[in-house]
Structure 1
Amino acid sequence: MFVDDKADMDGVGITLAIGALKALAFVYDVLTFPVYVMLQRPWRTRSLGRRVKAKPITKDTKSITYRSTTEPGPVHITLLQEKIDTMAKMFDYVSRTFPNKRCLGTREILAEEDEVQPNGRVFKKYNMGEYRWKTFAEVNMLAENFGKGVRELGNDPGENVAIFAETRAEWMIAAHGIFKQNIPLVTIYATLGDEAIAHGLNETEVTTVITSFDLMPKFKKILSLVPRVKTLIYMEDQLKTLDIAGYKNGVEIIKFSEVLKKGAASSIVGVRPKAEDTAIIMYTSGSTGVPKGVILLHKNLVATLKAFCDSTAIYEDDVMIGFLPLAHVFELLVESVCLLTGVPIGYSSALTMIDSASKIKRGTRGDATVLHPTCMTSVPLILDRISKSIQEKISKGGNVKKILFKFAYDYKVNWARRGYSTPLIDKVVFGPIRAILGGRMRLVLAGGAPLSPETHEQMNACLCATIIQGYGLTESTSSATVQDFYDKVYGRVGATTTVCDLKLVNWEEGNYRVTDKPFPRGEIILGGENISAGYYKLPEKTNEDFMETDGRRWFRTGDIGEIHPDGVLKIIDRKKDLVKLQAGEYVSLGKVEAQLKTCPLIDNICVYGDSTKQFCVALVVPNQQQLKDLALRKGIGDLPFEELCQSSEVVRAVIAELNEHGKKSKLEKFELPAAVKLVTEVWSPDMGLVTAAFKLKRKDIQERYKHEINRMYAS
């Protein structure tokens, strides 16, 4: 019998190393425990985490209504005392309060240079400088001038103006400029398809569109679909000038800076809005069809500002890095909270955020390294990708690195669950990970889709930051629930905010009732000053989804939730995602996707269920490296990614991996896809298959892959 002495010795060495680490940690804990107890006071953290955050105010066998137990905070009270009920009043107030403080920052691009890659290909990369800042007083003046400049171009108060641009300082300046003139702002995602963009612009009858240098070529094609558009204002590029040849005749093309000059020289008197006036017509990303314009009043926006300030800890030295689409209600309102509280915002993009980003010149610094932000927003897909990249790097390291990381991670998580922080471990082990985002990140606000508990806990530990999950919709001005800072129970989305009541109502078809044990369950209905006025030019849909009762405006979300004894909400289903299979079992597609997406093999997944069939199928975007590793483990060979996706043997191996992962995630057998199609293309907003917040656009995905779906069922 052959014995691998080296393998045995390695195993003994690993066991000894783990034993030594545990012994060292035990000695360290004994010596430092009294100090940590006195300094960190973990009982306070545990007590705050367990406190009741919302209580029922009405209850019967068909519904329960919950209200927050949190008292209005200092900023909320100030808004009431100062009678601030519009965005125009808000920015006038902050420019008086923080006139000389940094407000909006843009990174200087010094040059765009060719960089030769190891494979010989040449990519364009940025050589970037420092952030250039405008103070609150300067931004307020620029906004005032921009609003007047738009008026000089012929746009009167009450006449809609659209912003179709990526996130940047000029976006926010333009928005506040037109708020100051009581001009409704139409926001459209820069990643929507041409027809969806044209639909929003035509429906709102805009004649003026504010866009950017990068999107002007795209708009050249759209102009033929939007006959009312007569003026294009574009935000200039730092290095390039625009060639205006080939644009539709009769359309005025004007630089952003020229509009500012017109406004500065204007004698027009500003027309300030009232609380009931429309601030924004925000087009949803259309996850279930044609984008709808959600009407948000100034009072809706101010209500959410109050709610977010009550639920989030904000410090004087905070700095935000802004990169998610400002056309998304979540990003816009979080950035508005920063402005309200004097927190500077430095703008970035996925192409330049970190040192290894695709547009950053080798050897130079990404935006986060220069800015050193303390807070940011994110969507779960981005956090999932960070999580998987961390796992991938650790798995490629040597045994010593793996052992050290796993020990440090388990050590930190165990102490964190008891209310302690681990500063030494944070600095030694997790410091390099934290440095990726600038080294000072303390708060990440996650929204737009459910965040898996596994990713949530891992990101909290590895980034040495608090990840706070929230729940809201465009129709509720992003505000509904926010996770408490001290709540360490993952997989929940927090209690209702101070401006919003939350009602659970029985949904008999799905068998969800408020009398269910151990927790009341039902459809989530939201009510308060944050609830939208309705859908633009869609009165029937507005009457279907919105209602007025108990002196409040309410919105039927279509989401299914359960409320725990501490008043915290957990999203458990969605009415539109529920499919009844032939045998009568209900499958929540969103729930299954959320669980399977935590499998390292999966970058994205769309589960499909046909009610005439007995099983589900899935379209899977696999992680390239993980798929190659799986193929090698199964002895299939080192084939190109495209060939692996076509291999029936690889597909069977993927199904087996999903079944194993699904069982660990406590999914039922009928919930697991019986057939999968491996997709080689990454689903992006540009393709029209996911929204700007990376939610699946089911109808579009099913239409694009209908032949593959039919083949899976036929097989």
Structure 2
Amino acid sequence: MDGVGFSLAIGTLRALAFVYDVLTFPVYMILQRPWRLRQLSRKSRGILVDIEREQSNDVSVDIKENDFNKTNQFRDPPYKFDKAKAIQEDAKSVTYRSVVEPSEFHVALAKENIDTMAKMFEYCSKKYPNRKCLGTREILAEEDEVQPNGRVFKKFVMGDYRWKTFAEVNILAAHFGKGLRELGNAPTKNVAVFAETRAEWMIAAHGIFKQNIPMVTIYATLGDEAIAHAINETEVSTIITSYDLLPKFKKILELTPKVKTLVYMEDQLKSLGSVEGYKEGVDIVKFSEVLQKGSNSTIESQLPKPEDTAIIMYTSGSTGVPKGVILLQKNLISTLRGFCDCTPIYESDVMIGFLPLAHVFELMVESICLFGGVPIGYSGPLTMIDSSSKIKKGTKGDASVLGPTVLTSVPLILDRISKSIQEKVQKSSNLKKVMFKFAYDYKTSWKRRGYSTPLIDRVIFSPVKQLMGGKMRLMISGGAPLSPETHEQIATCLCVNIIQGYGLTESTSCACVQDLYDMSFGRVGGPCTNCDIRLVSWEEGNYRVTDKPYPRGEILIGGDNVSAGYYKLPDKTDEEFFEAEGKRWFRTGDIGEIHKDGAVKIIDRKKDLVKLQAGEYVSLGKVEAQLKTCTLVDNICVYGESSKDFCVALVVANHPQLRDLAAKKGITDKSFEELCVDPRVEKAVMQELAEHGKRSKLEKFEIPAAVKLVKEAWSPDMGLVTAAFKLKRKDIEERYKHEIKRMYAS
């Protein structure tokens, strides 16, 4: 299609759309009431309450029961006040506190005196005894599937989801906790959980909570040395793992002398058989055997207190060896209260769980679903959608069978979805490209005015929405800042609401959550009701609370959600945590600005800031976030040296996009690995990044002046990114130090 044809097609579509708009506008205005959505977008939820009393958890004193909607759900109240107000301000700092109304469930937590996770799930099992709670997809068989090229892949023949009710899960959890006691694990003696996200993980966790046993959580993607470090540091003798991960312990057990028992979650199709190759003297016990021991046990549950340690969560941090973050029972409940007030989840929802439960963000979102009576069906990357690698042709993926309405995600996954949409559009016919561009622009235009576009959604975007079962309405993004471009594209194409949250393991994942009605992109919302947010001027980085139009500075989080500190690292704990004004505070290292409505925007990170030779500051994270939206880039690490006047970049290129770019340069006879080392291709990629950087409004000195294409994708098991896919800069710099040196030399 030439330029004239393109213009004609767009003109025709615009004319048809104009006629359609004229005819339907009055109907849409009456039915959709866009002025209400615009008003809610500018405002926040709730009525102003006695903040001091609310912060002391005595919410029931000042809030009458009749003030709340009785729909037994996390509500979307129609009233208005700003998201936060300043409660303290001086020349170097300003502190903000939420003015959002506590929800019905927040009040229930206070009224029922629920101050531990053990009490929380006991409450849920009594309130929703016969409701679906945790679901696992049945695997009927594994068969060989011959591909067109003759290769044979193993594929699953899958059935429906099998569900356990809240009452059943509570009984199983009680049995598991007692079973651990029968195996010799006393209360307050650490137990490690090293397993993929699944129903047994949650059952084990609540069983452990019931016995006041601290749970050490370790990411399943960590390397052997990091796993051994966490196990040895916490001195665990019992580890709970899965059938798939069990073989890793043939090596790990040689590094962990205190481990005496391995409990493994069974596979649906395979049995363990021989224990040859495992260290002698270590008992290997089935998950079901622990449940059986617990069912026959006469041991009484030893319930925890709010100040007891619930979890020692090992973060696969971006620097150094993993640190154990101590999370108390009261930390988890505090986040639960905060999430109740800002997470729009309803009893009719269904959540699909797939992010690591060893990540506090996933654990707390799933916990808020359970507290609201929302069932959770578990999945994994190999079976989630119809085209997943382990799904047999003609068989439905987990999302199609489950029909979830809610999921959690991290920005990297959403970036990949965004790029896959762009790639499919680019490879489609010219007519489809025109139709898609018009539909996208049309929908975003009306959406910003408060209208939905049901016809466009059904005709154009419905196939994209069907990838996740067709019922998805809410995605909750956390773990890292989500780029505004990705946020808008995913929300538009998948026809879902995406809300960003901000928090860290050290704050039990809770600090800020974006309002459901906020139509802006790139912000993480106002402070949650369970904590205060403080900005402190950072003079070195030129961020001050006196900046105009918005105060800027390092973000500090204060409240009951703030961790007790790092396990066996008192100096590090004293460096990053402190007590003030009767609260525990954590220095995040993140730089934020707070807008007039109380919403926070993350704009930088102290550790990511590099001062170049000419004196300009470059925020590496900011540059990476912008360049990552380029379709050529799957991942990128920008590096800067203070002795140089420019930055360089290591780029994990997208395979199809790199081949297309090379073909445009007349290079068609090389493999992907060969393209990565071809100087002509590197130059072309650098030019593409420079143009993309300019479009993204990066300064000239922020755009990398040299690029090195990386042949391998960065994954957590390589030790180059965390389980949440954050860059581990020091490890990347060490691995590619010669390439970085050559880029600067060039």
1:147-546 matches, cutoff 5 A? 147-242=177-272, 243-546=274-577
**Cα pair 1:477 1:531 within 8 Å, conserved:** yes
Q: Aligned partners of 2:199, 2:429: CA distance in 1, in Å?
A: 44
SS in 1 for 2:86: strand
Deviation at 1:636, TM superposition (A): 2.7
Is the aligned partner of 1:108 residue 2:108? no
Deviation at 1:11, TM superposition (A): 4.1
Is the aligned partner of 1:21 residue 2:26? no
SS in 1 for 2:499: strand
| Percent of aligned pairs sharing the same letter | 75
String of CA shifts for 1:82-101, please: whole Å, max 9, x gaps: 00000000000000000000
Q: Aligned partners of 1:640, 1:117: CA distance in 2, in Å?
A: 22
1:633-712 matches, cutoff 5 A? 633-712=664-743
Map of 2:36 onto structure 1? 44
Map of 1:4 onto structure 2? none
User: What is the TM-score when the length of structure 2 is the normalising length?
Assistant: 0.94
Q: Aligned partners of 1:435, 1:657: CA distance in 2, in Å?
A: 33
Q: Aligned partners of 2:574, 2:665: CA distance in 1, in Å?
A: 56
Q: Aligned partners of 2:531, 2:667: CA distance in 1, in Å?
A: 55
Map of 1:599 onto structure 2? 630
**Cα pair 1:346 1:371 within 8 Å, conserved:** yes
* Structure 1 residues without counterparts, runs of 5 or longer: 1-6
Is the aligned partner of 1:582 residue 2:574? no
Map of 2:106 onto structure 1? 76
SS in 2 for 1:567: coil
Q: Aligned partners of 1:130, 1:633: CA distance in 2, in Å?
A: 47
Q: Aligned partners of 2:262, 2:399: CA distance in 1, in Å?
A: 32
String of CA shifts for 1:374-400, please: whole Å, max 9, x gaps: 000001111111111111111111111
Residue of structure 2 aligned with 1:87, choices 117, 138, 161: 117
1:193 is matched by which residue type in structure 2? G
1:24 is matched by which residue type in structure 2? L
Residue of structure 2 aligned with 1:126, choices 151, 156, 160: 156
String of CA shifts for 1:226-262, please: whole Å, max 9, x gaps: 1000000000000011131111011010000000000
Map of 1:63 onto structure 2? 93
Deviation at 1:22, TM superposition (A): 1.2
Map of 2:659 onto structure 1? 628
1:526 is matched by which residue type in structure 2? I
Residue of structure 1 aligned with 2:596, choices 553, 558, 565: 565
Deviation at 1:640, TM superposition (A): 1.4
Q: Aligned partners of 1:72, 1:579: CA distance in 2, in Å?
A: 41
1:2-13 matches, cutoff 5 A? 10-13=2-5
Size of the aligned set, in residue pairs, is 707
Q: Aligned partners of 2:710, 2:143: CA distance in 1, in Å?
A: 34
Map of 2:50 onto structure 1? none
Q: Aligned partners of 1:20, 1:638: CA distance in 2, in Å?
A: 42
**Cα pair 1:378 1:445 within 8 Å, conserved:** yes
Moved more, 402-411 or 87-96: 402-411
Q: Aligned partners of 1:119, 1:475: CA distance in 2, in Å?
A: 50
Compute the RMSD of aligned alpha carbons.
Answer: 0.9
Map of 2:26 onto structure 1? 34
1:37 is matched by which residue type in structure 2? M
Q: Aligned partners of 1:191, 1:321: CA distance in 2, in Å?
A: 20
Q: Aligned partners of 1:545, 1:607: CA distance in 2, in Å?
A: 26
1:191 is matched by which residue type in structure 2? T
2:172 is matched by which residue type in structure 1? L
Q: Aligned partners of 1:408, 1:18: CA distance in 2, in Å?
A: 10
SS in 2 for 1:459: helix
Map of 1:3 onto structure 2? none
1:68 is matched by which residue type in structure 2? S
2:722 is matched by which residue type in structure 1? T
Q: Aligned partners of 1:689, 1:326: CA distance in 2, in Å?
A: 21
Which structure 1 residue ranges, 4+ long, deviate > 6 Å from structure 2?
none
Q: Aligned partners of 2:95, 2:5: CA distance in 1, in Å?
A: 59
Q: Aligned partners of 1:644, 1:474: CA distance in 2, in Å?
A: 40
Deviation at 1:12, TM superposition (A): 3.8
Q: Aligned partners of 1:644, 1:478: CA distance in 2, in Å?
A: 41
String of CA shifts for 1:397-437, please: whole Å, max 9, x gaps: 11111111111111110011011111111111110000000
**Cα pair 1:94 1:342 within 8 Å, conserved:** yes
1:481 is matched by which residue type in structure 2? C
2:222 is matched by which residue type in structure 1? L
**Cα pair 1:628 1:638 within 8 Å, conserved:** no
String of CA shifts for 1:191-226, please: whole Å, max 9, x gaps: 111111111111111000000000011111100111
